[in-house]
């Protein structure tokens, strides 16, 4: 994997076709790019280690995109975009004619929408997330020892959080892979929108995992969790705890002897517990809070920070809900829980800002990266304390 500044843009050499577009995607994916942006009237852009770099020498003409979309995803997709309906699709590339080894597959998660791009009133914007073929290994992710020990409970709710692009799916998948290799009696089923990493293989010691795609294999997440109760799983992977029915079903499943693992787009552990309670109507929040605390085992929030060597470093803020913490919280009203969790993390110097400051002092991240995470005031306050 190369550094961001070493990425060379792809040269179409005047031949922008379905074939060369596929070649450009493979080229960028093999350089270690995580996301690719294709827009009418703009260059292809590639995100590598959190940095945007040009992915093509030439700009992509809007008039060329309908041919690409029809050739790879079907003509009906363009009609969706023209009607103002965005779309999500998965896509994979394989074949020795593109320089891939036999059996090698490169997968993408794609989003399509029509937008104004600079001077073009109606242009197409395609965002493509590269899904690595190699499954992540949690033993290579520098997981904190106490977090690792709590990450695989027999039942309950584990929530993996962070903003878009923070590695939530990678961390979640690493959890599944480790369980598949170490706990052969744990049957895993997942519900995803769309399916990203393809799980399973000869190394999987128990039943092969069954991955269902929302909208294709089952209608929605609440229906998926209802379906899960009939399948006798040990681990239920939920793509996203996005609304009240999904959160409610996940809590119920975790209280009935299953391990549920899901994601949330939150940026702190304290915010996460508030968000999960506040999806309920005010009249129900007190009763759900008790059930939620009974089900929670771990909340982990992850961020990827740009490092001074041109790469990225994961930092994590997490709370392990052992019996002592659950009892402490249940003796206080739910509206105080967020502050109590925040205070606990600050006392332990275990917040995101604390973890980032350690990297700053080590010279691993620069001032601008710390300020982007924690703000200028937090930087100035810590800098004065360090003098």
80-100 in b/e burial notation, b at 16+ Cβ within 10 A?
Answer: bbeeeeeeebbbebbeeeeeb
181 and 320, same domain (yes or no): yes
**Cβ atoms within 10 Å of 104's Cβ, excluding its own:** 14
Q: What is the pTM of this model?
A: 0.87
The Cα 1–Cα 130 span in angstroms is 14
Q: How many domains does the chain have?
A: 2
Q: Are residues 228 and 307 in the same domain?
A: yes
- pLDDT, tens digit, for every residue of 64-118? 999 999 999 998 999 889 888 888 888 889 877 777 777 788 999 999 999 999 8
Supply the mean pLDDT for the chain: 92
Say if strands 296-306 and 156-161 run parallel, antiparallel, or are unpaired: parallel
| Pair 43, 60: CB distance under 8 Å | yes
Residues 205 and 110 in one domain: no
Same domain, yes or no, for 118 and 184? no
Tell me the mean pLDDT per 10 residues along the chain, length 387: 88 94 94 96 96 96 95 90 86 79 85 92 94 90 96 95 91 94 94 88 91 91 88 91 88 91 93 93 90 95 95 96 94 93 96 97 96 95 85
Distance (Å, whole) CA 169 – CA 195: 10
The candidate with the shortest Cα–Cα distance to 186, out of 137, 144, 237, 138, is 237
Please tell me the distance from the alpha carbon of residue 353 to that of residue 375, in angstroms, as a whole number. 9
Same domain? 167 vs 231 = yes
358 found inside a domain: no
- Of residues 8, 6, 53, 49, the one with CA closest to residue 307: 49
Output the domain CATH number for residue 309: 3.40.50.300
Question: Residue 156 is part of which domain span?
Answer: 138-350
Flag whether 217 is in a domain: yes
Alpha-carbon span 34 to 38, nearest angstrom: 14
Alpha-carbon distance values, 117 to 10, 54, 266 (Å) = 21, 16, 29
């Amino acid at each position: 994997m190369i550094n961001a500044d070493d990425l060379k843009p792809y040269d179409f050499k005047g031949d922008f076709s379905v074939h060369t577009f596929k070649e450009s995607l493979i080229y960028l994916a093999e350089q270690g790019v995580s996301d690719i942006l294709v827009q009418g009237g703009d260059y292809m852009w590639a995100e590598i280690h959190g940095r945007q770099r040009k992915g093509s020498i030439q700009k992509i003409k809007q008039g060329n995109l309908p041919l690409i979309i029809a050739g790879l995803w079907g003509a009906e997709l363009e009609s969706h975009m023209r009607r103002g309906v965005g779309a999500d699709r998965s896509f994979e590339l394989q074949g020795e004619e593109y320089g891939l080894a036999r059996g090698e597959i490169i997968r993408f998660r794609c989003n399509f929408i029509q937008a104004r791009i600079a001077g073009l009133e109606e242009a197409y914007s395609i965002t493509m997330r590269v899904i690595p073929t190699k499954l992540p290994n949690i033993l290579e992710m520098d997981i904190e020892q106490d977090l690792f020990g709590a990450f695989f409970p027999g039942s309950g709710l584990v929530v993996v959080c962070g903003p878009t692009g923070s590695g939530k799916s990678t961390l979640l998948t690493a959890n599944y892979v480790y369980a598949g290799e170490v706990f052969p009696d744990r049957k895993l089923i997942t519900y995803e929108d769309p399916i990203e990493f393809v799980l399973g293989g000869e190394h999987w010691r128990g039943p092969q995992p069954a991955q269902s795609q929302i909208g294709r294999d089952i209608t929605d997440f609440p229906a998926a969790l209802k379906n899960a109760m009939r399948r006798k799983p040990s681990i239920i992977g939920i793509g996203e705890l996005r609304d009240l029915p999904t959160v409610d079903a996940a809590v119920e499943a975790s209280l009935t002897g299953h391990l549920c693992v899901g994601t949330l787009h939150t940026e702190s552990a304290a915010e996460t517990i508030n968000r999960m309670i506040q999806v309920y109507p005010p009249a129900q929040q007190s009763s759900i809070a008790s059930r939620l605390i009974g089900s929670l085992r771990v909340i982990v929030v992850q961020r990827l920070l740009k490092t001074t060597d041109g790469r990225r470093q994961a930092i994590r803020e997490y709370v392990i809900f052992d019996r002592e913490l659950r009892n402490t919280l249940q003796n206080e009203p739910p509206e105080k829980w967020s502050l109590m969790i925040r205070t606990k993390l600050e006392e332990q110097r275990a917040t995101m800002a604390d973890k980032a400051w350690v990297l700053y002092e080590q010279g691993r991240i620069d001032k601008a990266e710390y300020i982007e995470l924690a703000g200028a005031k937090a930087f100035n306050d810590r800098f004065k304390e360090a003098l």
